[in-house]
Amino acid sequence: MAAQAKVNLLLRVLAREESGFHSIETIFLRLDLADDVVVRAGEGVRGRALDVRGEGDHASLTGPTEQNLAYRAAIAYGEATGWPTGFAIELTKRIPVGGGLGGGSSDAGAVLRALDALSPNPLGTRIVELASGLGSDVSFLAQDSPMALAWGRGERLFPLAVLASRPLMLFVPPFRVATKDAYGWLAAERGSYVPRGAVVRQSDADTWEGVTAIAQNEFEGVVGRRHREISFLVDSLRQHGAFLSLMSGSGSTVFGVFDDDEAARRAAAGAGGGVRALLTRTAERVARVEVA
């Protein structure tokens, strides 16, 4: 099955909880860009296995098996339901690793959905609750809405009517930004946090024009001050005709949304040396789980 990437059309960092985690307000949107995930479980499958493939250093960047989110998702599902006792997962990586596109989270969400489709006693919508313990993006990527407004740690989800598909250019710099570092930089620059109310109404996200009017990423400034390439790439996409251009998540990937494919293709010329340009589209649907 396809484990789709995501971007954040809006990302605000709210108050820090006593646990140390920060609350967020965000708009998630899936992309057509996806990893391929195959899950085998049930009768005849013994042990626990994970095989990661992909171009370049994707496999090495996903880390040890026990720390891989897809593997951890299968373990969590088994502990929560008592099934399966054995599984085998194959990942073919296409989503850039560590770029704010939810690659590991999308794999975890896909594994949860696949296991639930295979399970003799599926959890249904309760897999979203299970997903929340794995990471801030996993809850969204484990459910069936291509676009959603989210709060808390990303587990409080309000599905939105999806926007019409548009071409989207990704600029992937040759460096990664650790999420922990991005939160630390933001907290250090912000100082004392003054609570603010939510800024998004459902009607704000009904059209691309509405989303563009509220689009922001509060990590973009602090990450951009440490990696000047971020601001350059955001500006380059806008200069080449993107009507919306932001950094996704805590970085380092920058994306631009365009009205037509040709304009998006021309924008690739503004990527600069060492930056990978990937053309995809915003998704209008969630990839289905195919059971063989």
Beta-bridged to residue 26, according to DSSP, are 11, 150
Distance CA 168, CA 280 (A): 5
Tokens 């691309």 belong to residue:
208
Q: What is the DSSP letter of 86?
A: -
Contact 177, 223 (CB under 8 A): yes
Q: 20: which residues sit within 8 A by CB, 6+ positions away? A: none
Q: Among candidates 11, 285, 248, which has minimal Cα distance to 165?
A: 285
What's the angle, vertex CA 152, arms to CA 14 and CA 191, rounded to 5?
Answer: 20
Distance CA 260, CA 264 (A): 7
Q: What is the DSSP letter of 137?
A: T
Catalytic residues: 6, 137
Q: Among candidates 130, 67, 113, 103, which has minimal Cα distance to 249?
A: 103
Distance CA 172, CA 253 (A): 5
| Tokens encoding 59 | 């496999």
What is the sign, positive or negative, of the torsion defined by CA atoms of 155, 34, 202, 198? positive
Helix, strand, or coil here: 239? helix
Beta-bridged to residue 30, according to DSSP, are 6
